[in-house]
A and B are shown apart, each in its own frame.
Chain A
Amino acid sequence: MRIIVPIKQVPETGAVRMDEATGTMVREGVEAIVNPLDLYAIELALRLRDSSRSADGEGNHEVLALSMGPPKAQTALREALAMGCDRGVLLSDPAFAGSDTWATSNVLASAIRKLGEFALVICGERATDGDTGQVGPGIASFLDLPLVTYVSRVRSFGPDEMVVERLVEEGHEVLAMSLPGVLTVVKEACDPRLPTLRGKQRARQAELVRWGHQELGLAREKVGLAGSPTRVVRLHRPSVARQCRRLIAADEESAALAVRELVDILRQKNLL
C-alpha cells in the first residue's frame, strides 16, 4: 500500500517581504521550508502507513513524498524523509518554471501515474505562498479520482474505501470515498511530528529520484509557462477599510444601552 504526498517548498513565512515596485515576493536570501500546511499531510500519511503496518505485519507499506520545484527543493524532500517518509521524488526541470496550478497539477499527476499503483494521495490544504488550494483538486481531476477536501479526521482506512470527516462551516460532513483517491487535509487532522536526528542522517544519505518533462512523457508546451493557461495580469494590494466603533458599558444602565445599540448596528448590517 502506497501513499503519495505532494509537497511544496515555500519561503519561510515570518521572513517574507514584498517588492513594493513589482508586487512580487522577494525570495532571495529567504529561508525555504516545507509548506507548513503540507506537514499535516505528511503526518497523516505516516500515521496511516504505520497503522496499516501494525495491522498486517511488515507488509509493503510506504509513504512517498513528491515535489515539483528547482533543484534546491530537494531540501524539502529530505525534511519529509527525516520525518519518516520512505522515498522522495523530485520533479525538477527548467521547463517547469512559471507553471500555474493547472500545469503544476498536470506534472504532479503525470508523476503519480508513472509511479504505478497507490492507495491514496494526501495534499496540504494549500501552500502558504500561492494560497490557491487548487493543486490537490487539480491532481484528482487529472487522475480522474475521487476527492475529499478539508479533511479533519480519518475514521477508517482501506482496503477499498475510507471514511473521513470533512470540516465545513456548519460542522463536519462524514464521507466515504473509494480508493484510490485524493485528500486535502486541514490543521485539525493531526499534529505534525518533528524530524529526528536518525531521520536527518538517513535523509541526508538518501538518493532522490529526479524526473524532468521527458521522463514524464510531457511535451514542453504542456509544462511551465507555455503550458499554463492562466496569467498574472496585475498584482495589487487591497485597501483595508475597517470601521471601529466603541460602545462603552461602564455600569448596568450604559450596558443596557450599549447592548441595544449593538443589536441595532448588527441588524442594520443584516448580521442578525
Chain B
Amino acid sequence: MDTTFKPVTAQIAAEIARIVGEKYVISGEAEGLAAFSRDEVAEEQYAHMPEAVVRPGTAGEISAIMKLANREHIPVTPRGAGSGLSGGAVPLHGGIVLLCDRMNRILEIDRDNLMAVVEPGVVTNQINEALKPDGLFYAGYPMSLETCYIGGNVAENAGGGKAVKYGVTGRYVTGLEFVTPTGDIVNLGGKLVKDVTGYNLIQLLVGSEGTLGIFTRITLKLLPLPKASVDLLCLFKTAQEAISAVPSIMTKGGVIPTAIEFMDRTSVKASCDYLNESLPYQDAGAMLLITVDGGDDEQVRREYEAVGEQCLGCGATEVYVADNHTTSERIWKVRRNIAEAFKLVSPHQSLEDIVVPIAAIPLMVAAVDKIAKQYDVNIPCYGHAGDGNLHATPVMNPAWNLATWQGTLPKILHELYLATAQLGGTLSGEHGIGHKRKEYVSIFLSQPALDLMRAIKRAWDPNNVLNPGKVF
C-alpha cells in the first residue's frame, strides 16, 4: 500500500483550523506536539512526531478532516487517551493526530433498554460512576480504566480484569456511529440485543485499531450492578502450582469467577515496593487474585468459599478474603500497578500480551521460564490467568548494555511467540498489534487471512490515509 504522504503545509493547517476552530489545532511547535508522538509504549524507537494535532468536536468536523486528508493525501491517526500498549495512536507517518478528547459526553443512559450512548472521549470509569446511582454497570474493565477512553477501548477491543465472566469490550457494543476513512458518516446497529441485518460491521470495527473508522457515538449494553463482590488473594508456593489451579477452579469448583489474575513473586514484589504495601509475598512463588460477584452476600459467600476450598485443595498455602471496598482496593491496587512499577525497576522491557487456551497456561508459564533461563533475562509474568491472557514481560538484564538488549529482545520475542503458537495461542489478547507487534503477525495469521484483511483495508480506505502502517 502507498505510504508516501504529503506534508501538512501552513495552508493545510489553516484549512484544518477553519474546520475545527483555531484553538483546537496544535501545529508547528514541537513542544506541544511531542506528547502525541507516543502512547504508553516506552521505547523511543516506536515514537513518531505528528505534524499537527486536531481536536474536533463533532462527527461533521471529523468527516471534513477525512475528506481533506484524502484530497491532500495526508495520514490521520485517531487518538483517545494515549494509554495504548501497542503504538496504535502513534502517527507512524506523521500527518495529523485526531484527538477525541473534546467528544466526552455521556449522551444518554437508557434505563428501559439497559443501554448507554456515549461519545468516544469519555473516560471509561466515568461511565460506571454515572451508572452507579441507577444500579447499573458497564462490564468493560481495562486496568487503565481511570484514564483510558471508551473510544480507545472499542478500537482495541480492550479486555481487562473481568473478562473471565463478562467477556471483552466487543460483547457490549451494539451500535456505532463512525466516520469512514473517506469521510462518510455511517450509523450501524442501535440499542439492539439481536441484529443480523447485513454483515456484522460493528464487530469488524471493534478492535480495528483505528484503521477502518473513527467512532463518534458508541452504544453500550449495560448490566445490573452486582450487589456483592468478594476478592480472594491466594498464595501458592510456585507459579506452576498457582497457574495449575486456574482450570480446576472453573471446572471442578463449578464457579466462573469475575476475574482470575495471576501474579508471580517478581511482579508482586515490584508493585508492593512501588506502593509501600506489605502483602506476604516473601514465601509465595505466585498469587492468584480471584473476584467473585453476584446478586447477594449469601450467594457470593457460597461461591467464594467453593473457589477458596478449590485453591486450598490445589496447594494454596493461604487464602485471604477481602469483602469490603477498602481491603479489595488494597489488593487490586497491587495488581493494577504492576506495569507502572516495572517501569521504575527497568525502563527497558517489553510488555507482552499473549493468549493461550486456559488449559495450556501451565505449559506456557513453563515455556516462559525456559526462555528466561536460556537468554539470561527476567521475564516476570502476570495477567488475566482466567482467560489465558498473560502479560509476560521480558526485562533487560541490568548487566547488559542497551545494544545487547536491543539485539537480543527480538530473539526472545520470536521464541516466546513460537512457543505461544505451538500451544494454540495468539499474539495479542487485548493490547492490539499496532506497529509494535506487526512483524510477528505472520507467525499467527496465514497468508490468505492476511490477504483478506488487506483487501478489507483497501476497500474501506483506498488512499490508505487512516492510521497507515498498523496491524499488518
Known contacts A12-B325, A14-B326, A31-B324; A197/B308 CB under 8 A: yes
Whether a CB of chain B sits under 8 angstroms from the CB of A201 is yes
| CA–CA, A82 and B304, complex, Å | 15
Residue of A nearest to B330 (CB): A194
Segment among B20-28, B241-249, B313-321 that sits at the interface with chain A: B313-321
B399 to chain A, nearest CB (A): 33
Chain A CB within 10 Å, residue with most, of B305, B309, B312, B327:
B327
Chain B contacts for A82, CB-based, 8 A: 321
| CA–CA, A27 and B324, complex, Å | 16
Whether a CB of chain A sits under 8 angstroms from the CB of B278 is yes
Chain A contacts for B277, CB-based, 8 A: 191
Are B325 and A194 in contact, with the CB atoms below 8 A?
Answer: no
Are A196 and B318 in contact, with the CB atoms below 8 A?
Answer: yes
Within 8 A of B (CB), among A28-72: 31, 33, 36
A193 to chain B, nearest CB (A): 8
| CA–CA, A42 and B331, complex, Å | 19
| CA–CA, A97 and B329, complex, Å | 31
Whether a CB of chain B sits under 8 angstroms from the CB of A254 is no
Chain B contacts for A200, CB-based, 8 A: 321, 323
Residue of B nearest to A204 (CB): B301
Chain B contacts for A12, CB-based, 8 A: 324-326
Are B325 and A201 in contact, with the CB atoms below 8 A?
Answer: no
Pick from B309, B327, B329: contact of A194, CB under 8 Å: B327
| CA–CA, A197 and B2, complex, Å | 60
> What per-residue 1/0 map shows which CB atoms of A71-90 lie under 8 Å from chain B?
00000000100100000000
B226 to chain A, nearest CB (A): 14
Are B324 and A196 in contact, with the CB atoms below 8 A?
Answer: no
Main secondary structure of the interface of B (DSSP, over half): mixed
How many B residues touch A, CB cutoff 8 Å? 24
Are B326 and A197 in contact, with the CB atoms below 8 A?
Answer: no
Chain B contacts for A31, CB-based, 8 A: 324-325
Residue of A nearest to B277 (CB): A191
B51 to chain A, nearest CB (A): 28
A38 to chain B, nearest CB (A): 12
Chain A contacts for B331, CB-based, 8 A: 194
Whether a CB of chain A sits under 8 angstroms from the CB of B322 is yes
Chain B contacts for A79, CB-based, 8 A: 324
Are B319 and A14 in contact, with the CB atoms below 8 A?
Answer: no
| CA–CA, A79 and B330, complex, Å | 16
A155 to chain B, nearest CB (A): 20
Are A197 and B305 in contact, with the CB atoms below 8 A?
Answer: yes
Chain A contacts for B326, CB-based, 8 A: 12-14, 33, 36
Chain A contacts for B305, CB-based, 8 A: 197, 201
Chain B contacts for A201, CB-based, 8 A: 305
Residue of A nearest to B279 (CB): A194
Are A15 and B325 in contact, with the CB atoms below 8 A?
Answer: yes
Chain B contacts for A199, CB-based, 8 A: 321
Whether a CB of chain A sits under 8 angstroms from the CB of B232 is yes
Chain B CB within 10 Å, residue with most, of A82, A191, A194, A201:
A194
B89 to chain A, nearest CB (A): 31
Pick from B278, B319, B329: contact of A196, CB under 8 Å: B319
Chain B contacts for A13, CB-based, 8 A: 326
Are B320 and A196 in contact, with the CB atoms below 8 A?
Answer: yes
| CA–CA, A191 and B321, complex, Å | 16
Are B324 and A194 in contact, with the CB atoms below 8 A?
Answer: no
Whether a CB of chain A sits under 8 angstroms from the CB of B233 is yes
B297 to chain A, nearest CB (A): 10
Known contacts A12-B324, A12-B325; A194/B278 CB under 8 A: no
A32 to chain B, nearest CB (A): 8
Chain A CB within 10 Å, residue with most, of B309, B325, B326, B330:
B326
Pick from A14, A33, A191, A197: contact of B320, CB under 8 Å: A197
A82 to chain B, nearest CB (A): 7
| CA–CA, A191 and B323, complex, Å | 18
Are B321 and A197 in contact, with the CB atoms below 8 A?
Answer: yes
Chain A contacts for B304, CB-based, 8 A: 197
Residue of B nearest to A12 (CB): B325
| CA–CA, A36 and B330, complex, Å | 12
Whether a CB of chain B sits under 8 angstroms from the CB of A195 is yes
B375 to chain A, nearest CB (A): 36
Pick from A36, A194, A198: contact of B322, CB under 8 Å: A194
Known contacts A12-B324, A15-B325; A197/B278 CB under 8 A: no
Are B312 and A197 in contact, with the CB atoms below 8 A?
Answer: yes
A114 to chain B, nearest CB (A): 30
Chain B contacts for A197, CB-based, 8 A: 232, 304-305, 308-309, 312, 319-321
Chain B contacts for A36, CB-based, 8 A: 326
Chain B CB within 10 Å, residue with most, of A196, A197, A198, A199:
A197
In the A-B complex, the 9 residue pairs with the closest CB atoms: A194-B320, A191-B278, A197-B319, A197-B308, A33-B324, A200-B321, A12-B325, A195-B321, A33-B326
Instruction: Jot down 10 A-B pairs with beta carbons below 8 A, ordered by A.
Output: A12-B325, A13-B326, A14-B326, A31-B325, A33-B325, A33-B327, A194-B279, A194-B322, A195-B322, A197-B305
Binding site for A on B (CB under 8 A): 232-233, 277-280, 304-305, 308-309, 312, 318-327, 329-331
Binding site for B on A (CB under 8 A): 12-15, 31, 33, 36, 79, 82, 191, 193-201
